[in-house]
Chain A
Amino acid sequence: MGELRIQGLTAEVAGRQILNGVDLVVKSGEVHAVMGPNGAGKSTLSHVLMGKPGYTVTGGSVSIDGVDLLGLPTYERAKAGLFLAMQYPVEVPGVSLEELLTEALSALGRDSSVVHTTVAAEAERIGLATRLLDRPVNVDLSGGEKKRNETMQLAVLRPKFAILDELDSGLDVDALRACSRRVEAATTEFNLGVLAITHYSRLLEELKPDVVHVLAQGRIVAAGGPDLADELERTGYAEWAEDEAPPAAADPFADPFA
């Protein structure tokens, strides 16, 4: 049984502290939802875990099965078993999906000769038209196609843990159902542990969470069972709204030399 362990994680962007000590443990086969209001640090959390440039970790630790991730470059984190399904998958002109996954599998020390057949099978399973597989990565794909593509790559790469950064944004209900079902199946198929970051509970209709966490002001402020997601949907995040006053807007008439 593997685990993704996040302890006391603090991080800043451009000198501003966004994560204020996040503690979370996800075990293999479990689904943890992280919900929270806008600006709570949800996307920052997913980016910091995967090692996206532009973020500075100021404290805490992240590990998979005892392997410290924070000292590793992004591709080594992937090798350690982490996957990030991005909220806004980037277009990479001139690089085909097959090229990407062939390089990825061989870097992960896996058999890359099966890429073509595996991709075709997984694409069919998630309802991604095969004609899209020859396109450069994410180029000219619709929102739904991009998210199916992310999920399809997850299924081909079979990581230990997947972070889903707002997998439910920018796609229609059919695509949402296909994606969430595929991830749900992966939790039993290859014992995938999931950290599903989302603003809404609709993702969790097919992808059943074991634990729902509330992230607000850069830390986990509450946790509960699946019911918590429904409750949040009804009541919103007002309870955890910022209790300190937001920074005052710059006064355009202020004396710049004051």
Chain B
Amino acid sequence: MSSPQWLVDRRSAAVQTDQFAMPSSEEEVWRYSRVADVDLSQWAIVSDRSEGVPAGAAALLDSLGHLAGSVVVRNGSVVAARLDEALVAKGVYVGSLVDGPDAQTSLGVVADGGPDVFGRLNDAHFLDGVLVHVPAGVTVDAPIAIIDWIDIDGSAVYPRLVVRVGADADVRILDWHGSADITALVSPLVELDVDRAGRLSYGNVQMRGPRVWQIASQVSRVLNDGTLTSSHAGLGCDYGRMRTDCELIGRGATGNLSAVYFGTGSQTLDFRTFQHHAAPDTNSNLLFKGAVGGHSRSIYTGLIRVEKDARGTNAFQTNRNLKLSDTAWAESVPNLEIETNDVKCSHASTVGPVDEEQVFYLESRGVPTEIAERLIVAGFFDEVLEEFPVAAAVPLIAAAIDERLDAGVNS
């Protein structure tokens, strides 16, 4: 399968317009990041197509129960796609972007070039890309799963996902980022487009192997009365970064953003969020909860920006961090930038150890210290996991959290 000419042109335009200079960690949005350690020449961009569904991805799909549709992407190539016939008949599309409806106009509508150099790299180098398209008025009852799998050692991979939810349409999507135990540099760019009164619930699980570096971007655009619920679980990678740009551009639009993350060993998990209120009566609610053990580090910086016209805005931002060892480190920097008076806005952030009083309470009932701490840490994530858009993924996330706790995180 070869790319259509428009895509070839688009890619080469992206290459020409940018020299892909690395940003400096002096820039606020890259502060504390490990971008200075990224050497693009160290990685081989995947340009050959991969074939076949990897066993790891197949096993995952099997464990997710009933799905309306699914796509498996291997090293950037779509290797399998399936969608219930009834939904095909209604005009729903799940599969390779280039074969989808309005491919050329869908790509880049929300995030042309992405918010930074890694987005532009994605524009220049992504192979197939995935499109999920739900036409106006269509409700997709069961979740759609995308398994994005990487298994070429030393590769640079640029996964691209475009989701278009039509007016008053409704869909739940699980976007699972997995890999073999390899080294790789991965820069996904995700575009989420929610039309008037559309409802998109998007759950993203980042469980790449422990040597993978991922620098991801998720850009969303929500029109009038639309609702985006985006939830992230950040568990894998040596360095795992996700930037979230949520653009509420239609009156009454809502963006619910949540995340759990859990760093162990020498991981760095890095989150940057932007809640952008550009229209009146828009709502955003952000809750990011993380734990760091071992020598791991986490970074959260968030900005709520409310434009002059966005009166009647409700915007909330909460980041809570548990520090499970003396050598772990968590940074949390919330920010507000508000240009109108008619808003309800708040932000809160905490970094601290497991609550001593809670441990004492459980211990006083006979629960050993270690188990008490485990219960509290697992419970800390519950608030987010209970609302995770695809329930079938929750036991898998919880099991991965348990595994980390089993391995020991206090030193």
Contact = CB atoms under 8 A, between A and B. Distances in A.
Interface stretch (A96-104, A116-124, A222-230): A96-104
Interface string B370-387: 011001101111110000
B367 A92 contact: no
B361 A153 contact: no
A94 B365 contact: no
A13 B362 CA distance: 22
Interface string A84-126: 1010011111110001110111011000000000000000000
A50 B367 CA distance: 13
Contact of A104 (B365, B379, B380, B382): B365
A79 interface: yes
A78 interface: yes
Contacts of B28: none
Contact of A94 (B361, B363, B368, B381): B381
A75 interface: yes
Given A90-B357, A90-B358, A95 B366 contact: no
B37 interface: no
B54 to A, nearest CB: 34
B361 A78 contact: no
A95 B362 contact: yes
Contacts of A59: none
Nearest to B368: A75
A160 to B, nearest CB: 12
B369 A75 contact: yes
A100 B367 contact: yes
A107 B366 contact: yes
Contact of A75 (B356, B367, B376, B383): B367
Given A53-B356, A92-B379, A73 B363 contact: yes
Nearest to B386: A94
User: Which of B358, B367, B381 has the largest number of chain A CB atoms within 10 A?
Assistant: B367
Contacts of A94: 375-376, 378-383
B16 to A, nearest CB: 51
Contacts of A101: 365
A104 B367 contact: yes
A75 B363 contact: yes
Contacts of A136: 379, 382
Nearest to A96: B379
Given A95-B375, A100-B375, A89 B361 contact: yes
Contact of B367 (A83, A84, A93, A107): A107
A99 B382 CA distance: 13
Contact of A53 (B360, B372, B375, B383): B360
B105 interface: no
Given A78-B366, A108-B366, A93 B356 contact: no
Contacts of A52: 360
A74 interface: yes
A75 B379 contact: no
Contacts of B367: 75, 100, 103-104, 107
A90 B359 CA distance: 10
Given A75-B369, A103-B371, A93 B364 contact: no
Nearest to A89: B361
A79 B362 CA distance: 13
A137 interface: yes
Interface string A165-182: 000000000000000000
Interface string A46-67: 0000111100000000000000
Interface string B92-132: 00000000000000000000000000000000000000000
B365 A93 contact: no
Contact of B375 (A84, A103, A153, A157): A103
Contacts of A91: 358
A78 B375 CA distance: 18
Contacts of B383: 93-94
Given A73-B363, A92-B361, A99 B368 contact: no
Contacts of A90: 355, 357-358, 360-361
B152 to A, nearest CB: 39
Contact of B379 (A73, A86, A93): A93
A93 B378 CA distance: 10
A90 B355 CA distance: 10
A179 to B, nearest CB: 17
A84 B379 CA distance: 23
A75 B361 CA distance: 10
Contacts of A104: 362, 365-367
22 contacts: A52-B360, A73-B363, A74-B360, A75-B363, A75-B369, A75-B372, A79-B366, A90-B358, A91-B358, A92-B361, A92-B376, A94-B378, A94-B379, A94-B381, A94-B382, A95-B362, A101-B365, A103-B372, A103-B375, A105-B366, A157-B365, A157-B366
The 10 residue pairs across chains A and B that have the minimum distance between CB atoms: A94-B379, A78-B366, A94-B382, A74-B363, A104-B365, A104-B366, A95-B379, A75-B363, A90-B361, A103-B367
Given A75-B364, A91-B358, A99-B375, 17 more contacts: A51-B363, A53-B356, A53-B360, A74-B360, A75-B367, A86-B361, A90-B357, A92-B358, A92-B362, A92-B379, A94-B381, A95-B375, A101-B365, A103-B375, A104-B365, A107-B367, A157-B366
